[in-house]
Structure 1
Amino acid sequence: MATVKIKFRVSSVETKEGTLYYQVIHNRLVRQVNPGYKLYPHEWDMVSAEIVFPPGTEDTRRNYLASLKSALHKDTKRIKSIISHLERTGEDYTAEEVVNQYLTPSDTLGFISFTRAIIYQLKQIGKNRTAERYVTIMNSFGRFLGENDMLLEDVDSNLMLRYEIFLKARGICPNSTSYYMRGLRAIYNRAVEKDLTVQRNPFKHVYTGIDKTVKRAVPLKIIRQIREFDLALSPATDFARDIFMFSFYTRGMSFIDMAFLKKKDLQNGILSYRRHKTNQQLFVKWEKPMQEIIDKYDTSKTPYLLPIIKDVDADEWRQYKNAAHLVNDKLKKLGEQLGLPIPLTSYVARHAWASIAKSKNIPVSTISEAMGHDSENTTRIYLASLDTSVVDKANSLILKSL
C-alpha cells in the first residue's frame, strides 16, 4: 500500500523560507508533490513532521501557520483517500497515479477550473491578496472565453494574442493588460510545475512589461488644500481625507498597512510596521499631525490604531476591502470638488510625498522615490540601506512645509 509523508526542504538562502512538499511512496518508487507552502526551519519539527508555533510568534504569523497546518491536514487526508480508493479497486497502480489524481482539480484539466482550485488553496493558507488578484484576472479572462473553459493543452500564444486584442479593444491600458498577462502566466506556470501540462511559452508574444505610469502626484499646495478643505458637514469624506493625510504624514503608507496598524506598533515615539507587499520592516518617527488624526477617533474597542477595522469579531479582510472602496470613492469626489486634474485616491499620497521630497532636493537614495525607479526591487535596495534617522528628518522637513 502506498504511503504519504510530509517533508521540509530548507532554502539555500539562510534567511528565506523553506518549502514543504508531499512524498508519495509505492513499490519503492517515490514521487513528490509541491503545493507551494512555505515556512521557516524553526517553525517545523523534523522528528514529528509537524508545524510548531515558536514562542513570541506574532498573531498574523500564528494565523498563517494555523491555516497552513489545516491545509496540510486536508491535503494528506485527500491523498490517503485516493490511495484507499485505488487499493479498493484491486488493480495495480503507481505512485505517479496517486499524484496525478491529487493534482487533477476536476474531471477535465480546464484552465479556469484549475485556477479556482488554486484560489481555494491560497485562501486556505491565508494568502488573500494573491487569491483576490487571481479572482480579478480570471473574471476578465472568463469574459473573454465566454461560458467555455479552456483545456490546459490549448493555452498557447495564439490564444494569448487574441486575449490581448480583446483587452485593447476595450480600452485597457498597457500596464493593466500586462497585469492580467503576468497573473495568467503565474497560474499557467503553476500548472506546468504540477506536471499538468508542458511548457509552451504562451506569453512570449504578448506584453508583460511595465510602462512608466501616468503622473499621479500632486504639489504641496494641493496637499494643503486637501488638508484645509471644510468637510464639517461630510463626516465620511472627512474620514477619507484623514486617511489620505495620515498616509502622506507617514511617507506614503499604503491603505492595507494603515488598516492593520496596531496600537502596540507605536512605542517610544516610533511607529514600526511591516509592509504587506514586501514584508519589509519600516520605522516612522511619530509626528504631531499623526497624533491629531488618531485623537479624532475612538478605537478603544479594537487593538487597531485607526478606525478602519472596527469589529474584531467580524471578517477583518472584508472590513478592510469595504473601507478601501469607501475611502477611495469619497476621495475621488473630493478631488472633483477641488478641481484636481487627476483622480484623487489614497495612492496619490504616496506619489505626492515622493515628488515633494524630490522637489525639496532630498536625495533620491534618502526618499527612496517609489515612482522614480524602473522596478520595486531597486526601491527596496535603497530603502534597506538607509539610516532611518535620515528618512525621519526628510519626513519632518516635508511636514513642516505644510
Structure 2
Amino acid sequence: MATLNAVILRHQMKKDGTFNVKIRLTHKRQTRYLDTKQFVVRKQLDRDFNIKDIFVMKPIYDSIFKYRESIAALGDRVDYYNCENLLKYIQSEGKKVEIISFGRERVEALKSHGRDGTANNFRSAINHLIDYFGKEEIFIDEITSQMLRSYEAFLRKPRTLHRIHRNGTKFQIESKGLTDAGIACAMRDLRGLFNVARDTFNDEDLGLIRIKHYPFKKYKIKPAPETRKRNIDIDTIKKIRDFKPRIPDGIEAITRDLFMLSFYACGTNAIDIFHLKNQNLYNGRMEYNRMKTKDKRRDRAFISIKIIDEMKPILDKYVGTLHERFSTATGMNTALSQGFDKICTTLEIPRISFYWARHSFATIARNKCRKSKDDVALALNHVDEARKTTDIYIEKDWSILDEVQNAVVSLLRHDRRTDSRRQINLLSDITLSVCR
C-alpha cells in the first residue's frame, strides 16, 4: 500500500540555513519526493529532524490528506501503478491542462525533429486561440463544442492579427477572414493539437484522465471544398525548365532547379529535398523517408527513386548546401514562393507554387501516360488504407516506379528532341537555299 509522510532531508540544507519540507511517497518498495512551499529552520525541528512546529505542519497535512484521497479513489487499480506513475497521478489530479504553454512546448519539440509542417500548423492553432480568447493562458476545458461553433464564426470575420516575428519584432496582418477551406484547415489543426494533449495527459490503462471531454465528438469538422487542380501541362513545365534567370545563383535559379528536381523525382516534397544528404544518394538512386508520414507508417514512408540524367547536376549543386542557404525548410519555402512570383510574371503564366510539381507529375502520369492509380500512388509514396493488409504480403518493386518516372520525363525529352530536329531541319533548309 502506498504511504505518504512529511520529512526533512538533512543533507539538503539551503545556504540560508533553511530546509524544504518534503512529502515522501513510498509504494512497492520505491520512494519518490514531492517539494512543498513550506520551509523550516533548525530550531523548528527536533534532534531527529522531525518537524515540531504545528503551524508549519497544518498545510502539509492538508496536502497529504488530498493525496491520500486521490490514491484511495483508485481502489485496486493502485496495484497497476509503479511509484513514478503514482507520483504523476497524485500531482496531476485536479490540475488543469493549459493548452497554450503545452502547445508551444510541442511546437519546439516538433521543430527539433524536423517536422516543421506540423509545428507550423500547431503554431497557427495557438495564435488563433489567443486571438479568440484575448489572453495567453487558456485551459483546455475552455474548448467546448459550443465554443468551437463560436470560434468558427470568429475566424470567418475580417480582423487585425497581431503577431511576433522570429526576431522578436511585433507586426500586424489584416485578415479578410477564413474561407471554407481555411476553416477546415484551422479546425483540423486545433483538433490535432487537442488530440496530442489527450495522448500526453491521459492514460486510460491507469485511469489517469486529466482531459475528460472531447468537443470534436459533437462539433463535426466540415470537409474542405475541392480545390482547383494544381497541375500544369508539359508545355508550361518546359517553359520553367528552359527559363533563363537574371542572376545565375539567385532565387529564380534555385526555384527553377528545385521545381524541376521535384518533377523529375516523382513529385518529391520541398521539405524532403531540403533534408537530403549525400548518404541519401546511393547506387544510382535517391532514397529517403518522407518527412510528412515517416512517423505514421510501418515502412517509415521509405522510397527509392532512380537518379536520371536530368537530376544529377541539380543534386550535385544543391544536396548538402541548402542548409547553408536557408536556416529552415519553412524559410526555403518562403524564398521559393518569391521565386515563383518572378518566374511566373516573366513567363506570363498563371501563379503556381512548388507543390504544383507533385500534382503535375501525378496528373501527367495518369492522364497522359495512362499509368494505373496504384502505380502513381507508389511513385507519390502514398499508402492505400484499404489495401494496407495486402501490402504486408507484397514486396515493393521500385522498377515500377522507374517506369512511371521514365514515361513522364520522356514527354519532356521528346519535346527537347523535337526542338533539336527542328533546328537541324532549319539549318538544312538554309544550306539548301544557299547552294541554290
Classify the TM-score, shorter chain: 0.5 to 0.7
**CA contact under 8 A between 2:340 and 2:352: conserved in structure 1?**
yes
C-alpha distance 233-380 of structure 1, shift in aligned 2 (>3 A):
farther
* Deviation (angstroms), 1:282: 0.6
Counterpart of 1:223 (choices 237, 253, 257) is 237
**Residue matched to 2:401:** 391
* Correspondences of 1:272-283 after superposition (within 5 Å): 272-279=287-294, 280-283=301-304
C-alpha distance 378-333 of structure 1, shift in aligned 2 (>3 A):
farther
Distance in 1 (CA, whole Å) between partners of 2:144 and 2:313 is 56
**Residue matched to 2:55:** none
Distance in 1 (CA, whole Å) between partners of 2:275 and 2:186 is 27
* Correspondences of 1:251-400 after superposition (within 5 Å): 251-279=266-294, 280-295=301-316, 297=317, 305=319, 307-310=321-324, 318-341=327-350, 343-358=351-366, 359-368=368-377, 377=385, 387-400=397-410
Aligned residues: 317
C-alpha distance 192-108 of structure 1, shift in aligned 2 (>3 A):
closer
**CA contact under 8 A between 1:368 and 1:379: conserved in structure 2?**
no
**CA contact under 8 A between 1:237 and 1:330: conserved in structure 2?**
yes
C-alpha distance 306-387 of structure 1, shift in aligned 2 (>3 A):
same
Q: 2:247 is paired with a residue of what secondary structure? A: coil
**CA contact under 8 A between 1:271 and 1:284: conserved in structure 2?**
yes
* Deviation (angstroms), 1:206: 3.9
* Deviation (angstroms), 1:160: 0.5
Q: 2:288 is paired with a residue of what secondary structure? A: strand
**CA contact under 8 A between 1:160 and 1:203: conserved in structure 2?**
no
Question: Please, what TM-score do these two structures have when normalized by structure 2?
Answer: 0.62
**CA contact under 8 A between 1:351 and 1:370: conserved in structure 2?**
no
Counterpart of 2:179 (choices 173, 176, 182) is 173
Q: Residue type of the partner of 1:176?
A: G
**CA contact under 8 A between 1:160 and 1:206: conserved in structure 2?**
no
* Correspondences of 1:94-243 after superposition (within 5 Å): 94=68, 98-99=87-88, 103=92, 109-120=97-108, 122=110, 129-147=117-135, 149-169=137-157, 170-193=176-199, 194=202, 195-202=209-216, 204-233=218-247, 235-243=250-258
* Deviation (angstroms), 1:171: 4.0
Question: Please, what TM-score do these two structures have when normalized by structure 1?
Answer: 0.67
Q: Residue type of the partner of 1:239?
A: I
Larger Rg: 2
Q: Residue type of the partner of 1:179?
A: C
**Residue matched to 1:83:** 34
C-alpha distance 26-361 of structure 1, shift in aligned 2 (>3 A):
same
Cα RMSD for the two superposed structures: 3.8
Q: 1:271 is paired with a residue of what secondary structure? A: strand
Q: 1:272 is paired with a residue of what secondary structure? A: strand
C-alpha distance 114-390 of structure 1, shift in aligned 2 (>3 A):
closer
* Deviation (angstroms), 1:340: 2.7
Distance in 2 (CA, whole Å) between partners of 1:150 and 1:225 is 51
* Deviation (angstroms), 1:396: 1.2
